[in-house]
Amino acid sequence: MTPENDTARATSATVSPGADSSQDTGASTDGPKELQFAPDAGASRSTWIAAALVLLLTGWMGSGFIIPHEEDTTTAPRDDPKPVAVAVSTSTAENVTQFYRAEGQALPDRDTALRAEISGDIAEVLVSKGQDVVAGEVIARFDPSNNIADANRAAEELARAQREFDNAERLLERGVATQDRVSEARADLASAQAQVIAVAQATEALTITAPFDGRIETLNLDEGEYVSSGSDVGRLVDITPLTVAIQVPQQSLTRLNSGQTASVQFITGEARTGTLTFVGTSAASETRTFLAEIEVPNDDGAIPAGISAEVSIPTGEVTAHFLSPSIVSLNTDGALGVKTVNADNVVEFYPIQVVKAQIEGIWVTGLPDTVDVITVGQGYVNVAETVAPSAGGTK
């Protein structure tokens, strides 16, 4: 405040000494008077100045919300993304032999049942089960007693019929006999001759012999046993050579032809080389597969019949690439293939076909003769994408 204002305030609040004396004299009758203050013009001006400052400050703080300002929409230039680094390996196609592989079973080359051709008692058994025999070797003999009697009877009947026929012809020449009698005698003679032939055949059937070289697999004969004609008395098998039978599916039938060489690995560990001797032309109705047979030498008889075998038959050559299965992938259509890099470092996808599988990898077709195959990073790049290839990795 100014000195003038202070002086005025003091003057208005001061009472003259004379008045105070008179008031003090009459203090018993009158109370103290109320102080009077005059308005200060300077104080009112300060209030308006403060209010104006508050309004200005409030407006300035709210200006950012009320008055929009232009934003800088320009962005800093972005650098183009760098190509993805991948490892590639150059693969060159090679000639590889294709094989048809199948599981089969070793079968005897020949397997037949031994049957009795006549009825009678067994007089002698000359071989035992498990014995090797040659063609024509006697296995057993029947008791010949009945056959000898039948042979004597047939011989006597033949002699009688022959005499009757001779007499009928002589009488016919003399004119005593008729032609009908000669015809009857001739028929009796033919019947007697047939009986003699039947007895001779029965005499041969008295011995049961081996029809071919082989091994007696079963033998159901004992000396003194009665055997009926046509009954099975044993089984003879020939395993030199062996026959390995396999079933070929329809789609592989055209790859096989008689005369092809086959490698056969038996479950016993024996390995032999055989020849494809038969390829069926009629499919089994249940499986739609075709029977094929491979003949395997077994002169020493070391490989038994009936065991399992794995057959491998070369069916030709094809140009293919040898790759690791880990680099094979699927495209968006689900096709199996591999990603490669061309001369412009652009990713390409080639569908492939597996023609041969090994423990170390697979042989595939469908690629160019020479190609850079992506071996590391193929899962992070897409077709038509530019990459930064570097040599390395395992194809």
Helix (H) or strand (E) holding 8: helix 3-12
Q: At what angle do helices 179-204 and 145-174 cross, to 10 degrees?
A: 160
How does residue 42 score in pLDDT terms, banded at 50, 70 and 90? low
Name 323's bridge partners.
362
CA 241/CA 268 separation, integer angstroms: 17
134: confidence class by pLDDT, cuts 50, 70, 90: very high
Is 13's pLDDT higher than 50? no
**Nearest to residue 388, comparing CAs of 330, 329, 368, 380?**
380
More confident residue, 106 or 70: 106
Which residue, among 19, 225, 31, 212, has the nearest Cα to 134 in the 3D structure?
A: 212
Q: Which of 107, 96, 102, 106 lies closest to 313, judged by CA?
A: 102
Please check the confidence at residue 257 and state whether its pLDDT lies above 50: yes
Average pLDDT on 252-281 reads 94
pLDDT higher than 90, residue 263 = yes
User: What's the confidence (pLDDT) of residue 395?
Assistant: 65
pLDDT higher for 21 or 269? 269
Rounded CA separation 53/59 (Å): 10
Reported pTM: 0.59
Segment 378-393 mean pLDDT: 87
Q: How many CB atoms lie within 10 A of CB 267?
A: 12
Structure-token pair, residue 346? 């652009």
**Average confidence (pLDDT) over 68-87:** 69
Predicted confidence band at 110 (pLDDT cuts at 50, 70, 90)? very high
**Beta carbons within 8 Å of 371's beta carbon, 6+ residues apart:** 90, 91, 321, 340, 350
What does the block give as tokens for 168? 């009928």
pLDDT, average across residues 226-240:
92
If residue 41 lies in a helix (H) or strand (E), which one and from where to where? helix 41-66
Average pLDDT along the chain:
84
The residues near 301 (Cβ < 8 Å, ≥ 6 apart) are 215, 239, 240
In the predicted structure, residue 67 carries a pLDDT above the cut 60:
no
Q: Which CATH class is domain 101-105+238-316?
A: mainly beta
List the beta bridge partners of residue 95. Answer: 319
CA neighbours closer than 13 Å in the CB half-sphere of residue 336: 10
The pLDDT value recorded for residue 54 is 79
Q: Where does the pLDDT of residue 143 fall: very low under 50, low under 70, confident under 90, or very high at 90 and above? A: very high
In angstroms, rounded to a whole number, what is the distance separating the alpha carbons of residues 346 and 111? 66
pLDDT tens digits, 173-203: 888 778 888 888 899 999 999 999 998 988 8
Residue with tokens 């009757």, as numbered in its chain: 164
Is pLDDT above 70 for 387? yes
Do the first three CATH levels of 86-97+319-391 and 101-105+238-316 match, i.e. the same topology?
A: no
pLDDT digits (tens, 9 = 90+) for 346-370: 999 999 999 888 889 999 999 999 9
Grouping H, G, I as helix, E, B as strand and the rest as coil, residue 347 is strand
User: Taking the domains of the chain in order of start, what are their residue ranges?
Assistant: 1-12+41-58, 86-97+319-391, 101-105+238-316, 118-232
- The per-residue pLDDT for 274 is 95
Residue 35 has pLDDT above 50, yes or no: yes
pLDDT at 75: 60
At residue 10, the 3 state secondary structure works out as: helix
* CATH architecture of the region 86-97+319-391: Beta Barrel (2.40)
Question: Rounded CA gap, 395 and 393, in Å?
Answer: 6
